[in-house]
Amino acid sequence: MKLTDYVTLGGSGLRVSPYCLGTMTFGTDWGWGAEEAEAIQVLERYMELGGNFLDTANCYTNGHSEVILGNYFGKNPFKRDRMVIATKGFGNMYSGDPNGGGTNFKSLINACDESLRRLQTDYIDLYYVHHWDPHTPVEETMYALNYLVQCGKVRYIAFSDTPAWVTCKAQMIARQNHWAPLTAYEMEYNLGERTVESEMIPMAKELGIGVVTWSPLKKGLFSGKYTRENNGNVPGGRLSTRYKGQVITEQQFQIIDELIAIAKQCGTTPSAVAIAWVKGQPAGSIPLLGARTITQLEANLKVLDFELPPEAAAKLTAMSMPPATFIEHDILSENAISMLQTGTTINGWTSKPWPMTPGPDDIRW
């Protein structure tokens, strides 16, 4: 696969690269990340390979991430229209201001205008609501997003990290009012976070929403730098800087061991193996490639050079299986399917006979 093997996003005609460049690490304002010069190196390497999909947010590194992108495209305006720039509104940038963040009309319009200023552009290709705002009716949020589209400030809209029921309601509101629909949904998905498989991913598929997945390496946990030998203690690593005190579980160590073993067998990097697993799942997602250094980006980009063997993918899937959710444990349980199908096969699902099903001669009241 190449970064130029473009795919359409969700139910739209927007063409994007199969891997998106995440830029949360652009800027050092949070105590870690890349200085502007190195961030530009990462950006240009991604673009050199044909990548056209960038992801940022108003609050990343206190707005510096957007500024770095804005400075680059401000100096290279002829490159801007060739890129699909995604950013997010929600994060409160003004301490003490109750309307400084969130998804009400005032907050979203202001956040979008500020992002446009930092990005030095007059439109945003894909505008996300970063999180669910429980204080704002979703009708108001969708009205505000549609207003931004109507004004020409935003081309497409999306949600991130929002409950399935809220997202479904929002998409139905958009359809009923003939407003701009949700084009994408961004969620964490990796070998350490698979609970989204029960509701979030099926919801996105049903509603025609493209899936973009953040942190395919579980905040760097599956990058290969953290091992049993160093017990997660890597100077400068995010586990010791941003996520101090995080304990690596035995299940996670087993996954790390397997990633390293597969990488050696395939002549690639553990991070490439972890990203390839995410990409190979039925979700058909677009993983975010986040990199603080050009070296990290090159390690991640090795995912373009190999295919994960099916047996290796199956082993990683089995090792990382999360506990069943209520949906999986009760509603989609073997008992429920047997109650529904009574031993028949439907759409490839074969059930056992349900012992309580009436026989052909039994009385049915």
Please say whether the beta carbons of 321 and 192 come within 8 A: no
Angle at 214 between CA 213 and CA 218, to 5 degrees: 115
Q: How many CB atoms lie within 10 A of CB 131?
A: 16
**CA-based torsion, 168, 170, 175, 179: positive or negative:** negative
Please say whether the beta carbons of 120 and 70 come within 8 A: yes
Please say whether the beta carbons of 262 and 190 come within 8 A: no
- CA distances (Å), 265 to each of 67, 191, 258, in order? 41, 19, 11
Exactly one of 19, 46, 60, 127 is catalytic; which is it?
60
CA end-to-end span of the chain, whole Å? 59
Alpha helices in the chain (DSSP H): 36-48, 64-75, 77-80, 105-119, 138-150, 164-177, 200-207, 250-266, 270-279, 294-301, 310-319, 326, 334-341
Give 302's contacts (C-beta < 8 A, 6+ positions apart).
Answer: 268, 269, 271, 272
Give 245's contacts (C-beta < 8 A, 6+ positions apart).
Answer: none
Single-letter amino acid code for the residue at 95: S
Q: How far is CA 87 from the centre of its chain?
A: 13
Is 60 in the active site? Answer: yes
- b/e sequence 101-110, b meaning 16+ C-beta within 10 Å: bbbbeebbbb
Catalytic residues, by residue number, are: 60
